[in-house]
């Protein structure tokens, strides 16, 4: 049994094609998760709608608390990390992180950045070895294979790596750095483009992205089906 963490970051609450002014990134993420559940109903799905309920922004109390060792934390410090601990627990428990997110002004929505800031945690998702000044960071989410699926909606076109407008897309590179920093290196990207253009451009991109989602679900389910089952101690 695998565990899927499903995160939606769009400010639009509805789903494109179903709701007026619905979200294209939610369309992709919900298609991925529904297809996954259809074929693997035994798996656990944890859902976070951070587009509608954003995580807290990191503040002074959070910083002071997270950089204090657990055994030395005062009660107010533990309180300051309750939300972060829950988000980190969900990430650690997951085998696949599915993120539906739009590209806003060249990068990720503020709600998704807040989530990233909450889950990159010294001692939990990354360690710091001060005896290795050239590369002091140690990823902690390497205990088993985890995948991140980033499902994106963009207003423009030709924004994938290597394409003409790729220099204006800082969403996928930013997320890749964050996930790899924590030890999640198996990354998958699918995008809908042309939302600002609309018409046939958007329709064709949406149709292709939905096909890609279904192919990725099939590929990943083969990976998980063939993965060895850990032996009980």
147 among annotated binding-site residues: no
Q: Torsion angle, CA of 138/142/147/152, rounded to 10 degrees?
A: -10
CA-to-CA distance for 125 and 182, rounded, in angstroms? 5
CA-to-CA distance for 24 and 8, rounded, in angstroms? 11
25 among annotated binding-site residues: yes
Tell me which residue of 111, 114, 108, 101 sits closest to 26, measured CA to CA: 101
- The answer to whether the Cα torsion of 107, 100, 176, 60 is positive or negative is positive
111 among annotated binding-site residues: no
84 among annotated binding-site residues: no
Which alpha helices (DSSP H) does 94-198 contain, by range? 110-119, 171-182
Tell me which residue of 8, 18, 86 sits closest to 54, measured CA to CA: 8
How far, CA to CA in Å, does 18 sit from each of 11, 47, 132, 209? 16, 20, 53, 17
Task: Give the residue ranges of the annotated binding site for FMN.
Answer: 10, 23-25
Task: Give the residue ranges of the annotated binding site.
Answer: 10, 23-25
């Amino acid at each position: 049994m695998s565990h899927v963490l499903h995160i939606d970051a769009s400010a639009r609450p509805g789903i494109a094609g179903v709701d007026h002014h619905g979200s294209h990134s939610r369309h992709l993420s919900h298609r991925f998760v529904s297809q996954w559940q259809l074929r693997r109903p035994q798996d656990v799905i944890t859902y976070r709608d951070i587009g509608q309920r954003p995580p807290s922004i990191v503040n002074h109390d959070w910083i002071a608390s997270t950089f204090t060792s657990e055994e030395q934390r005062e009660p107010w410090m533990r309180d300051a990390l309750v939300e972060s601990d829950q988000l980190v627990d969900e990430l650690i428990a997951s085998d696949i992180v599915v993120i539906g997110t739009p590209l806003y002004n060249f990068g990720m929505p503020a709600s998704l950045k807040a989530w990233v800031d909450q889950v990159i945690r010294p001692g939990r998702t990354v360690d710091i070895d001060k005896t290795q000044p050239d590369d002091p960071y140690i990823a902690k989410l390497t205990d088993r294979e985890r995948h991140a699926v980033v499902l994106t909606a963009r207003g423009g076109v030709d924004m994938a790596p290597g394409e003409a407008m790729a220099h204006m897309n800082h969403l996928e590179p930013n997320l890749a750095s964050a996930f790899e920093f924590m030890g999640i290196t198996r990354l998958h990207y699918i995008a809908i483009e042309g939302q600002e253009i609309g018409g046939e451009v958007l329709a064709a991109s949406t149709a292709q992205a939905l096909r890609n989602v279904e192919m990725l679900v099939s590929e990943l389910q083969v990976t998980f089906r063939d993965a060895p089952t850990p032996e009980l101690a």
